[in-house]
Chains A and B, each alone.
Chain A
Amino acid sequence: MSIRFIDAGLQTSVQDLGRTGMMRYGVSQGGAADPLAARLGNLLLGNPPHNPVLEVTLIGPRLEFQCDISLVVTGARFTLTLDGESVENDQVIQARRGSVLNFGQLLSGTRAYIAFAGQMALTRIFDSFSTHLQSGFGGCGGQPLKKGDLIRFEETRTVADRQLREEHRLRYTGHPRLRVVAGAEETLFSGETLERFYTQAFRVTPQSNRMGIRLTGEPLHCAARTQIISSGLCPGTIQVPPDGDPIIAFVEGQTIGGYPRIAHVISADQHLLGQLKANDRISFEKVSLARAHEILAGKSALLNQLTAEYSCHSASD
């Protein structure tokens, strides 16, 4: 029971929802860059939310199945085929022994997720299967998958055909407006600089990765950068280094940061960061802390509702 990588794609890795409680040792949370997309795939298959999935980045793999297994592709849209027949995101795909799933052209977004109705035979490190690409551990030997690699499954299942309803499918525009709350050092920036931050569209640069999303635009200058107290750096935090180009800390970011923090992408919108690629344009809209928490509660309630809805379906299959 395994899948074989005929081609691995640009950066395909095993991810789940990451690690908690290890930041004090310098280990960032990691996990799926777009955890919402990853969860939707598991949800459709009746898997627990942290079942490991494959994260596909920009160029997808070509996979051969050596067992019958149901799977779901979510997140970024590619031209997808199973044995040459077109298949779609957000619905159960039934692979048979010998089937080949091919990722063709990228249509929208950056990262797709492949969830499987089964359990990969991998070792947990710090209670997670996630590949920490910056530090080289977890997943399959701490590395992205390579051509010829096999992933073995401990058990596989097939589930009935099922799909996400149209209104629950995620779409990626390449120019999202991300909601933020004020950063811990917002007051160190002048009114003019803050105005510049909230009114321009920043370009995502090619140096962006799971560690950080690097932006460029009209530079932001900070009045007093000498007096910053280093502290815990969480995903979503937007730091401004001396060159004035902001960096959004991402899932594999450093755990301690010392640059002034102008703003913080709200938790509810962080999944959109996983779908950014070079030359996308993003802008920021400020909300209050209370509003940020309300939006998160709203998204979480929707996810719970979907989980209930699709698990009902699964019980009646």
Chain B
Amino acid sequence: MKAAFSIVTNGDSALDIRFDAEPSEALSRHITALAQAIEAQQWQGVRELIPAYQCLTVCYDPLLCDSPQLSARLEILANRHPEVSASKSDQSRLIRIPVCYAPEFAPDMQAVSAHTGLSAEQIIARHTAPRYLVHMLGFTPGFLYLGGLDPLLHCPRKATPELRVPAGSVGIGGSQTGIYPQATPGGWQIIGRTPVALFRPGHNRPFVAEPLDRIEFYPIDSEAFERFDPDTFSTRPQEPAA
């Protein structure tokens, strides 16, 4: 992909490589590839690479690298329009995430229903149909920015955010859908909850997904929600009847 870009200073210790194109899968692949290419250079003083929908932020240590020089090097690299390496393409996974859409976990289902004119069943069917693309992680630890929400499910954020949305809550905010990794304040319309922990610090797999992975939601009932085992990523078998 050939993508027009500009390099902009983002404070005194970061540069933004901003792309002109609208967010898309192709652009996210390009940004991921560019991040890989930068990483492979092992430039001294490059501290963080933060991908976003239309931007790659490169944080640097001003004591270890010179900003104009870094900017010039990034420009050369970005102009080579790198491709996602084969290994990364192979690693792109489909991750199936169970969601319980039962009323006790879906306080805003009625509001979404009223806004979209769809029944709860139709909302669930449309929410579980797509394979969402992970564009990036960020905002808070483990939060997934997903692309691919059915336009019929687009729904405005709440005028007044809730003070506390439980961890695992699955919501719709504008044209996005996502999962709250931690209990935080939030303004999205909550239509379900997943027993999957999106962020498990200290575990060998602390994050559920990487950019370019695919996410599919599948509906589970309250009982399966209780029996979900985050270690095996599956529902524990029922206890044999006594």
A interface vs B, CB < 8 Å?
20-27, 123, 125-126, 132, 134-138, 142, 181-184, 229-232, 234, 236-237, 254-256, 261, 264, 266-267, 289, 292-293, 296-297, 300
In the bound complex, CA of A126 to CA of B48 (Å):
14
Can you give 23 contacting A-B residue pairs, CB < 8 Å?
Answer: A21-B47, A26-B140, A134-B140, A137-B201, A184-B10, A229-B52, A229-B54, A230-B52, A232-B55, A232-B59, A234-B59, A237-B10, A254-B138, A255-B50, A255-B139, A255-B140, A256-B50, A261-B10, A264-B11, A267-B13, A289-B9, A289-B12, A296-B63
In the bound complex, CA of A115 to CA of B140 (Å):
29
Q: Tell me which of B8, B49, B140 contacts A254 (CB under 8 A).
A: B140
Contacts A184-B8, A184-B16, A237-B11 hold; do A21 and B137 have CB atoms under 8 A apart?
A: no
CB A219 to nearest CB in B, in angstroms, measures 20
Interface set, chain B 122-140, CB cutoff 8 A to A:
136-140
- Is B16 in contact with A27, judged by CB distance below 8 angstroms? no
Contacts of A134 in B (CB 8 A): 140, 182
In the bound complex, CA of A266 to CA of B63 (Å):
13
In the bound complex, CA of A107 to CA of B63 (Å):
34
- Is B10 in contact with A234, judged by CB distance below 8 angstroms? yes
CB B204 to nearest CB in A, in angstroms, measures 12
- Is B137 in contact with A25, judged by CB distance below 8 angstroms? yes
**Size category, B interface:** 35 or more
In the bound complex, CA of A202 to CA of B59 (Å):
28
Contacts of B206 in A (CB 8 A): 25, 126
Contacts of B139 in A (CB 8 A): 26, 254-256
- Is B141 in contact with A234, judged by CB distance below 8 angstroms? no
Most buried by A among B10, B54, B181: B10
Contacts A26-B139, A135-B140, A264-B12 hold; do A293 and B62 have CB atoms under 8 A apart?
A: yes
- Is A20 in contact with B16, judged by CB distance below 8 angstroms? no
In the bound complex, CA of A256 to CA of B53 (Å):
10
Q: Tell me which of A21, A237, A256, A267 contacts B52 (CB under 8 A).
A: A256
Contacts of B57 in A (CB 8 A): 231-232, 234
- Is B51 in contact with A234, judged by CB distance below 8 angstroms? no
- Is B18 in contact with A231, judged by CB distance below 8 angstroms? yes
B142 within 8 A of A: yes
CB A7 to nearest CB in B, in angstroms, measures 27
Contacts of A21 in B (CB 8 A): 47-48
Most buried by B among A24, A229, A264, A266: A24
- Is A292 in contact with B14, judged by CB distance below 8 angstroms? no
Contacts A254-B140, A264-B12, A266-B12 hold; do A231 and B201 have CB atoms under 8 A apart?
A: no
Contacts of A123 in B (CB 8 A): 202
B interface vs A, CB < 8 Å?
8-14, 16, 18, 35, 47-55, 57, 59, 62-63, 67, 136-143, 181-182, 199, 201-202, 206-207
- Is B138 in contact with A136, judged by CB distance below 8 angstroms? no
Contacts of B12 in A (CB 8 A): 181, 236, 264, 266-267, 289, 292-293, 296
Contacts of B182 in A (CB 8 A): 134-136
- Is A24 in contact with B50, judged by CB distance below 8 angstroms? yes
Contacts of A132 in B (CB 8 A): 141, 201
- Is B52 in contact with A232, judged by CB distance below 8 angstroms? yes
In the bound complex, CA of A125 to CA of B203 (Å):
9
**CB closest chain-A residue, reference B48:** A23
- Is B48 in contact with A232, judged by CB distance below 8 angstroms? yes
**CB closest chain-B residue, reference A136:** B182
In the bound complex, CA of A264 to CA of B14 (Å):
11
- Is B62 in contact with A267, judged by CB distance below 8 angstroms? yes
**CB closest chain-B residue, reference A255:** B138
- Is A234 in contact with B14, judged by CB distance below 8 angstroms? yes
Q: Tell me which of A135, A142, A300 contacts B63 (CB under 8 A).
A: A300
CB A254 to nearest CB in B, in angstroms, measures 5
Contacts A20-B48, A229-B54 hold; do A256 and B138 have CB atoms under 8 A apart?
A: yes
In the bound complex, CA of A261 to CA of B140 (Å):
19
- Is A137 in contact with B202, judged by CB distance below 8 angstroms? yes
Contacts of A266 in B (CB 8 A): 12
Q: Tell me which of A126, A183, A255 contacts B11 (CB under 8 A).
A: A183
Contacts of A22 in B (CB 8 A): 48
